[in-house]
Amino acid sequence: MDEADRALRNVTFGLFVDLGRAPTSDQVARAGGVSRDEVRSAWLRLHSAHALVLTPAGTEIRMANPFSGIPTPYRVQSAGRWWYANCAWDAFGVCAALHTDGRIETSCPDCGQPIAIEVHAGCPDDEALVFHCLVPVAHWWDDIVFT
């Protein structure tokens, strides 16, 4: 990843937090002082480097991990906003990335019962819950959306 791509990646993530949702390529272009085509080319390289995940069309952000660009079953209230995370790991990651406490809301995939967790100083208030990761680490990026 060269410096220009790293800088655009940081602009993209910064805008995600400022806006509370995935920025468009036009918004990143304006903030970064480059063209939309340059942003889209950089995003494709960042996608290949697993620094973010684009939609199948390759023009919008699907994941700026730990944040999700689309609604998911993992909602996180943190830093005065609600966010969507890509998975349980990323839900805790939202609080970690924002360096704030938060509240995670989801449901048990087995029984459908709601799960709500308060996170204070990185610690969950319900220690009885368990996390399951189905895909071995070596295969996470074979299909990151499934992972």
In the complex, which residues of this chain contact other proteins (CB under 8 A)? 1, 6, 9-10, 13-14, 17, 49, 51, 65-66, 87-99, 106, 108-111, 113, 115, 117, 119, 122-124, 126-138, 147
10 Å Cβ neighbour count for 81?
Answer: 14
For 73, the token pair is 């079953």
**For other proteins, the closer CB: 3 or 57:** 3
Instruction: Output 24 or 89, the one with its CB closest to other proteins.
Output: 89
Query: Is the CB of residue 53 less than 8 Å from the CB of residue 25?
Result: no
Of the two residues 37 and 135, which places its CB atom closer to other proteins in the complex? 135
Residue 120 beta carbon to other proteins: minimum distance, rounded to whole angstroms? 10
Nearer to other proteins, 34 or 104 (CB): 104
**Token code pair at residue 77:** 């209230």
Q: What are phi and psi of 49, to 5 degrees?
A: -85, 5
Question: Using only C-alpha atoms, what is the Rg of the chain?
Answer: 16
Least distance between other proteins and beta carbon 50 (Å): 8
The minimum distance between CB 60 and other proteins, in angstroms, equals 20
* Of 27 and 65, CB closest to other proteins: 65
Task: Quote the least distance from Cβ 29 to other proteins, whole Å.
Answer: 20
Shortest Å distance, C-beta 19 to other proteins: 14
d(CA 119, CA 59): 34
Tokens coding 30: 């304006």
Which token pair is 146?
A: 């499934």
96, 83 contact by CB (below 8 A):
no
